[in-house]
Amino acid sequence: MSFHDELEEWEKFLDKENCPICNEESPPEDEIIVAEFDKSWLLAYPEVCLKGTCCLALKPHAVEIYDISDSDLMQFMREVKIASKALKEVTKAIKINYEIHGNTIPHLHMHLFPRYVDDPFPDGAIDYNKVEPAVYKDNEFEEFVEELRKKINEYEWPS
């Protein structure tokens, strides 16, 4: 679902009181909290289009970048630094892609996509709905989450 087909529903989510993230309403069953930072949570999911795909969900309710206070935004970007650096090291990706959409849930969150030389989207945008065939085999997902946690804990980040 997106605001294109369910505008009324999406508009309800704009208010903090109805926001599914602020109210911790039905996160996907397979969602794993990799790390909790001062201003965000780093989340990972086993069914993704690129190995190592993560999401940083901002803790304060905000929809657009300009809704975030300067100090919160600076801290959030520091957390993006930590998360993306750890992600690049753990996945050995060539490049991390950063995407902010909010067309399904408007509460601000940033997708982190590791890109690889042989990934399935060489010439265009990432199709995040393409989750088949599965990118993780056996317990690769659990191992990835553990490695990412370990790497993040090695860093010291400003609070």
Which residues in the 54-73 window bind Zn ion by CB under 5 A?
A: 61
Interatomic CA distance for residues 68 and 76, integer angstroms = 10
* 156 alpha carbon, distance to own chain's centre: 21
Q: Which residue is nearest to Zn ion (CB)?
A: 19
Nearer to Zn ion, 69 or 153 (CB): 69
**Strands laid side by side in the 95-99 sheet:** 32-36, 40-44, 54-58, 109-115, 95-99
Which residues in the 99-118 window bind Zn ion by CB under 5 A?
A: 107
Q: How far is the CB of 132 from Zn ion (least distance, A)?
A: 31
Q: How far is the CB of 106 from Zn ion (least distance, A)?
A: 8
Q: Does 14 bind Zn ion (CB under 5 A)?
A: no
Q: Does 39 bind Zn ion (CB under 5 A)?
A: no
80: Cβ contacts below 8 Å, ≥ 6 apart: 56, 98, 110, 112
Q: Does 21 bind Zn ion (CB under 5 A)?
A: yes
**C-alpha closest to that of 46 among 57, 58, 31, 33:** 31
Q: Does 19 bind Zn ion (CB under 5 A)?
A: yes
Q: Give yes or no for a contact between 65 and 30, defined as CB atoms under 8 angstroms apart.
A: no
Q: How far is the CB of 61 from Zn ion (least distance, A)?
A: 4
Member of 14, 22, 73, 131 binding Zn ion (CB under 5 A): 22
Nearer to Zn ion, 51 or 61 (CB): 61
SS3 13: coil
- Positions in the binding site for Zn ion (CB under 5 A): 19, 21-22, 61, 107
